[in-house]
Structure 1
């Protein structure tokens, strides 16, 4: 956004400066050209007057003196077109001389000097007729040397252009400051809102800067963020407190149930429900701890690294005894190092392996793989079980969501996995396995070499 704003300001300032500078340059060129034309027209008229009196010796003296002063040749022709005076090597054969002399002899004077630009020629011709319009007596041609005038024009143009460039740079500097003043609070707002949407956390106040409208917006966003943060904190604290408060009664209930005689009717159902309730509470506590870690800004694992293949192998070895007749396979690319903590990655892979083993069904195959992707390291846990309908994949990471099979579970496993991935700076995506099953894809940041 800043680049686009600077581009617009640069174009506008350039157009404004060009609109001011170009007429000024033209004015300088016109003024210097007029000065040169005035002085040379006066000299030309003096030569024409002397020629009209047939004072060729006087013309020669004046022409030689003019040659010494200005290094400009003079050529005079009589009524028959013959050259009677010539200085500076000027002849009828010189480029352009014959044409302007002929026109001047026909009473068509050539007195205009083209406006001088830095790239203009340093030599130009002017001519005037000799005699009266009724009786033409020849022509006078003056080869004007414009080097001095061109030097003045170039010097003036250089100064004006240098001043314009300096003004443009100053305007760009001021525009950069103004753009920074306007864009900086917008960038801060964007970062804060993105972080709020990513982690649900609002960790630091916004700096009040920029235009008054943006300051008011920043204050409003800050109030909104603080309100969202308080709401999330209250909700999370309520879950954590409730879970902790229920742990003691559950523990007492577990002791009392375990102390009952084994043959009591319905005791197995009570124990099953009690175990499920304990699992739900454990999952809620774990989920609350992970979400608190994200909100508190502890998701930065840039200093931690781990060898992905080793972590995956350790997790497969740990879950193999509980897999039963489910086959666990590993297809990992060697040498991949992720910028995450080894324990955190192990917990995440363990949750997904537990979910796959629990729901893939007897005789299924769970494949764990890793590779280097375009955005980092990709770890996949894929099974060939019944999977999840594509219409419900987006719901699978919600708390207490359970699949169509309605098998035993807390409904918190995938929610914990998603929050764990966020906590370690990664991302979890669920997709269908071809032809059937579920694939959990983890995007992880790769450690720099």
Structure 2
């Protein structure tokens, strides 16, 4: 904002200076030329009066050469006097024979010899130098005695004009410098409350507390905006706190009754007839499902109210450990759990993630995959690295810019519309197996975002679902060998593990 305000001030000041200085420069240039022309005319008339008197007294050859020399020296130009026939009488400088013969044909001298009432002012080039010429008639009464021709080099006028333009430019530059300093101070003063608002907004967007901003600084519009932001931030913080408190308190309050209900149902089993035990089993299953849903809500509430810092995590090690933990359960259901590639090699795949998040992401994805995997099918875990993380002895094509964790099943898969809605809380596909809560993928998405990554669902090559978790790799290490990490938005991985 400061830069934009300063540019607007400078643009207006530059436009104003151009509108003032350019016309002023042209007016002065024209005035300077007119002044020099008037001076030349006055000198020509003065020399013409003196020449007329000298010619009348017969002293032209004795007096006029000295007079024209002094006049030429005084004005810095050239002075020539001719008789009525155009023959040279006196000159302040040496003329060639050709120039002497052509004096009478010069327009200014010819007009003066005809006794023109006005002087002829012309600008011409003589010997490569541009001159301003003035001619005046020499006459005594009605008797024509000759003409006086004065030429002045225009370089003097041009130098004065250029000097004035330079002064105007320097003045304009000084004015722009002053406008820059004053405009920068005004822009900083105007933009300071806006910058405070921006910092408070970023802090609020990153999950920080709603810190009120000062409403006593800046223009009235900015103060009004700050007051509105404070009210909005306070209301938003109150609503979020109420939502988190409700979810957390309701989950805590429901856990004890559900545990008691489960225990009572188990105690009823010996007293239930054989034909009614199916209903009892269904009731216990629904109770377990409700308990898992309450645990998920409690985990969501804790995610919203806690803060975490991302740390380097060895994704290879996590994948291998979760593969060992889940393999017996997969075998029990007749499904193979495949770990693709060598995840125990000498080159790890460090990624930045919230502590404990990767384990719970894998647990939820593997639990969903096992629920939909057909008998005899396979579920695979695969890690695809960026090109800079590829192993030396296991080359692959150029990888993605982030580390990708793929959990792929061979189940029925999802339609494109279902994949878009899969991360909504409590949403379950119409043909989904019983027992789910609709919170697993929502929790996975929150954990992935907390770790600075993204998760997408894609159609697998064999018709199932490919859950892709993209995570930021560790970029480098500092001088003492410590891995560089970065804080992230507040979230805590507290979801329950399935096995």
In structure 1, the partner of 2:428 is 402
Q: What is the CA-CA distance between 1:183 and the residue it aligns to? A: 4.6
Matched residue, 2:281:
268
Question: Is the 1:428–1:441 Cα contact (8 Å) retained in structure 2?
Answer: yes
Match of 1:347 in 2: 360
**Deviation for aligned residue 1:240:** 0.8
TM-superposed CA distance for 1:128, in Å, is 0.5
The residue number in structure 1 matching 2:111 is 106
C-alpha distance in structure 2 between counterparts of 1:357 and 1:64, whole Å: 116
Deviation at 1:375, TM superposition (A): 10
Q: Does residue 239 in structure 1 map to residue 247 in structure 2?
A: yes
Q: Please give the residue correspondences for 1:199-348 in structure 2 after superposition, counting only pairs within 5 Å.
A: 202-208=209-215, 209-258=217-266, 264=272, 265=277, 266-293=279-306, 298=307, 301=310, 304-324=311-331, 325-330=335-340, 337-341=350-354, 343-348=356-361
Corresponding residue number in structure 2 for 1:59: 64
Larger mean Cα displacement after TM superposition, 224-233 or 9-18: 9-18
Q: How many Å apart are 1:313 and its aligned residue? A: 4.5
TM-score (normalizing by structure 1): 0.80
Question: What SS does the aligned partner of 1:142 have?
Answer: strand
Check 1:41–1:106 CA distance in 2 against 1; reply closer, same or farther (3 A cut).
closer
Query: Contact 2:354 / 2:450 at 8 angstroms: preserved in 1?
Result: no
Distance 2:7 2:28 in 1: 31
**Unmatched runs of 5 consecutive residues or more in structure 1:** 115-120
| Partner-residue secondary structure (3-state), 2:402 | strand
| Cα pair distance change 1:191/1:77, threshold 3 Å | same
**Aligned mates of 2:267, 2:385 — CA distance in 1:** 52
Q: Distance in 2 between matches of 1:91 and 1:380?
A: 99
Over 3 Å counting, the alpha-carbon distance change for 1:30 and 1:106 in structure 2 is closer
Contact 1:200 1:232 in 2 (8 A): no
Aligned pair in 2 of structure 1 residues 412, 171: CA closer, same or farther (>3 Å)? same
1:164 aligns with 2:178: no
- Tell me the residue number matched to 1:37: 37
Q: Is the 8 A contact 2:351 2:403 kept in 1?
A: no
Structure 1, residues 265-303: CA drift from partner, whole Å, max 9, x if none?
24433432232222112211211111223xxxx3553xx
Q: Distance in 2 between matches of 1:13 and 1:63?
A: 51
**Does the Cα contact within 8 Å between 1:300 and 1:425 map onto a contact in 2?**
no
Q: Return the offset for 1:139.
A: 4.0
Task: Call closer, same or farther: CA 1:30–1:190 in 2, change over 3 Å.
Answer: same
Conservation of the 8 A alpha-carbon contact between 1:299 and 1:424:
no
Contact 2:108 2:121 in 1 (8 A): no
| RMSD (Å) for aligned C-alpha atoms | 3.8
> What residue number does 1:80 align with?
85
Alignment map for 1:353-364 (pairs within 5 Å): 353-362=366-375, 363-364=377-378
- 1:111–1:205 CA distance, 2 compared to 1 (3 A): same
Partner Cα distance (1:241, 1:93) in 2: 116
1:381–1:441 CA contact under 8 A, matched in 2: yes
The structure whose RCO (Cα within 8 Å, separation 6+) is larger is 2
Q: Structure 1, residues 231-280: CA drift from partner, whole Å, max 9, x if none?
A: 12111111111212222333344445555656842443343223222211
| 1:12 equivalent in alignment to 2:12 | yes
Computing the radius of gyration from Cα coordinates, the structure with the larger value is 2
- Cα 1:193–1:23 shift into 2, 3 Å: same
2:444 corresponds to 1:417: yes
In the TM superposition, residue 338 of structure 1 has moved relative to its aligned partner by: 3.4
Alignment match of 2:162 (pick from 147, 150, 154): 154
Distance 1:181 1:380 in 2: 49
Summarize deviations over 1:48-97 as a string: whole Å, max 9, x none.
33444543543321222234444422233333333333334566878xx9
Q: Cα 1:187–1:393, aligned 2, differ >3 Å: closer, same or farther?
A: farther
User: Residues 366 and 81 (structure 1 numbering): CA distance in 2 closer, same or farther, change over 3 Å?
Assistant: farther
Superposed displacement of residue 402, structure 1: 0.9
* Structure 1 residue 19, shift from structure 2 partner: 0.9
SS at 1:111 equivalent? strand
Q: Matched residue of 1:60: which SS?
A: helix
Q: Go from structure 1 to structure 2 and tell me whether the alpha carbon gap of 1:312 and 1:139 turns closer, same or farther (over 3 Å shift).
A: farther
Cα deviation 1:332-388 (Å, max 9, x = unaligned): 997764343453344334433433333344414435333449995252435343222
Offset of 1:310 from its aligned partner? 4.5
- Gap regions ≥5 residues in structure 2: 388-398, 477-499
Structure 1 contact 338–444 (Cα < 8 Å) conserved: yes
Q: Does 1:386 align with 2:393?
A: no
User: Shift of residue 30 of structure 1?
Assistant: 3.6
Q: Match of 1:409, SS?
A: coil
Give CA-to-partner distance per residue, 1:178-204, whole Å, 9 cap, x none. Answer: 4444455445545655665x5666532
In the alignment, which residue of structure 1 is the partner of 2:382? 368
- The alpha-carbon distance between structure 1 residues 24 and 394, as it changes in their structure 2 partners (threshold 3 A), is same
